Structure 1
Amino acid sequence: MNGRAGYTLIELIMVIVLLSIVATVSVRFVGLSTQGALDTSARQLRALQSVVVSEQLTRELRAAFPLSVRTSGACIEWLPLEAGTNYLRRTRGPNFNEIEIAPFSQPPSTENKRTVIYGYGTSTGDLYTASDPGPVSSTISAVDNNSTPATITLDSSHRFKGNSPARRLFVVGEPVSVCQSDRYLYRYSDYTPTSTQATPPAGTREVLSASLTGTVDFRVVPATLQRAAVVQFTFALESLDGDETTTVSQEVQIRNVP
């Protein structure tokens, strides 16, 4: 009589155990692969965010009046340049409120704008307040770019403290600040300039980054007659679980020469 073919209980248990091992390894492999893809995506997102933040800061700082850049703690502040030209004659009597200039290639707006001539030898705070005499004028009331010569008319009389060797005149706007607050990096604008840097200032606030860790480090190497100003900033972005950070360090040259 022929025996019937089949599996023994021991063989069945061994197959179940082996399948369980294979399934466990497969699930673990898929889990690690998925986690690796998520980690890579998170790193790429932090890298992209760091590029966007550093590029925005770099572009704005490059268009700053170089002598106006100042830092205090985790804040940096500057006066943005709106336009530049050569002046032919500074303000003179009897009203001391008109500057003769070479025409602007693109005339700037006049709202809350001021003119700056030179500025070396003065404190940074003097560039934020219109002292008379001083390097920064009162606000501009009008720009006549079509007259001969072109002229800038000020709201009130002003005497400039010094001459620019290159006879350069700049038009600057309202100050801009970037400050850290806990995990956030904010950009501040639309506020009144003061001789002492406010940290942070009052004004319109926009979020630049929401995942900072540590303290943002802003440093300024002031401009001299021989070289441009240099701004250095370093910040770190943290992953959501706090296990990884991405550190960014950048140097920005401010080439505008008063």
Structure 2
Amino acid sequence: MSRQSGYTLIELIMVIVLLSIVATVSVRFVGLSTQGALDTSTRQLRALQSVVISEQLTRELREAFPLSIRTNGSCIEWLPLDAGTNYLRRTRGPGFDDIEIAAFAQPPPTGDTRAVIYGYGTSTADLYAASDPGPVSSEIAAIDNSGSPATITLASSHRFSSNSPARRLFVVGEPVSICQSGRFLYRYSGYTPAAVQPEPPPGTPEVLAASVTGTVDFRVLPATLQRAAVVQFTFELESPDGEETTTVSQEVQIRNVP
């Protein structure tokens, strides 16, 4: 009589137990590997977001009229610089509404822009209030860039309070602000300048960043004899699960041209 071979019940149970252990370890290993890949991807995305946000802020601040940058902690505000040239003659009577200039390489827009001459020795509020006399004119009504000399015509009369040593004239646009509100960082533009910094400014905000945690810190260090003005800003971006944060800290040097 032939002898039959096969598995005993104990052997079968041992095989099942071993396969279960191997499967559990494999699933755990795959799960950890997948989670690690997802965490790495999330960190890279936050790092990319931080680079984009800081680069946008840096570029805009470098195009600001240097004396106009001001902050109250959670908001930073500035007047964007649209163009620059040399003036030949400031406004004079009887109308006090025409400025003779060297022609612009590319004429700036009119209507929502103003001319600035010098501005050192005055408060930041004077740059936004456009006091008369003062360093900032009323709105520019027209620019004749083809005349000899070229001229800027103001919407109303204005007397400039001082001369520029280099006879420099700048054209600035409407204010721009970056403000934090909860987990969002907003950009405001297209509103009327005011002597007191608004918080937040009027108008419809544009989302610059989301998932911001903590308090965004804006600081402005005025220019000294050894260096130009410096803007510092620090903020943190939080992961969706709230377990990790990425800290961004940046310094922007602002050129100061009288």
What TM-score do you get using the length of structure 1 for normalisation? 0.97
Distance 1:225-1:153 versus aligned 2 partners, 3 A rule: farther
1:176 aligns with 2:170: no
Distance 1:173-1:75 versus aligned 2 partners, 3 A rule: same
Whole-Å separation in 2 of the counterparts to 1:106 and 1:256: 22
Whole-Å separation in 2 of the counterparts to 1:229 and 1:216: 20
Deviations 1:106-126 (A, max 9, x none): 001102100001111111111
| Aligned partner letter, 1:234 | T
1:145 aligns with 2:139: no
Which residue number in structure 1 is paired with residue 120 of structure 2?
120
How far did 1:40 drift? Answer: 0.8
How far did 1:71 drift? Answer: 0.3
Whole-Å separation in 2 of the counterparts to 1:224 and 1:33: 53
Checking the alignment, whether the CA contact within 8 Å between 1:135 and 1:160 is kept in structure 2 is yes
Checking the alignment, whether the CA contact within 8 Å between 1:212 and 1:237 is kept in structure 2 is yes
Whole-Å separation in 2 of the counterparts to 1:115 and 1:228: 23
Deviations 1:85-112 (A, max 9, x none): 0111111111111111111000011021
1:212 aligns with 2:212: yes
Whole-Å separation in 2 of the counterparts to 1:225 and 1:156: 37
Whole-Å separation in 1 of the counterparts to 2:66 and 2:228: 8
Counterparts of 1:69-88 in structure 2, within 5 Å, are 69-88=69-88
Whole-Å separation in 1 of the counterparts to 2:20 and 2:176: 63
Whole-Å separation in 2 of the counterparts to 1:256 and 1:32: 53
Aligned residues: 258
Counterparts of 1:148-227 in structure 2, within 5 Å, are 148-224=148-224, 227=227
Whole-Å separation in 1 of the counterparts to 2:110 and 2:212: 37
Name the SS of the counterpart of 1:227 in structure 2. coil
Deviations 1:122-176 (A, max 9, x none): 1111100111110000111111111111111111111111111111100000000
Which residue number in structure 1 is paired with residue 91 of structure 2?
91
| Aligned partner letter, 2:81 | L
| Aligned partner letter, 2:32 | L
Whole-Å separation in 1 of the counterparts to 2:129 and 2:184: 29
The two structures, once aligned, show a CA RMSD in angstroms of 1.1
Which structure 1 residue ranges, 4+ long, deviate > 4 Å from structure 2? none
Name the SS of the counterpart of 1:128 in structure 2. helix
Which residue number in structure 2 is paired with residue 241 of structure 1?
241
Whole-Å separation in 2 of the counterparts to 1:210 and 1:228: 31
| Aligned partner letter, 1:236 | E
Counterparts of 1:101-112 in structure 2, within 5 Å, are 101-112=101-112
Which residue number in structure 2 is paired with residue 48 of structure 1?
48
| Aligned partner letter, 2:4 | R
Whole-Å separation in 1 of the counterparts to 2:105 and 2:58: 24
Deviations 1:25-50 (A, max 9, x none): 00000000110111111111111111
Deviations 1:198-225 (A, max 9, x none): 1111013100111000000100012356
What's the % identity of the aligned pairs? 81
What TM-score do you get using the length of structure 2 for normalisation? 0.97
Name the SS of the counterpart of 1:109 in structure 2. coil
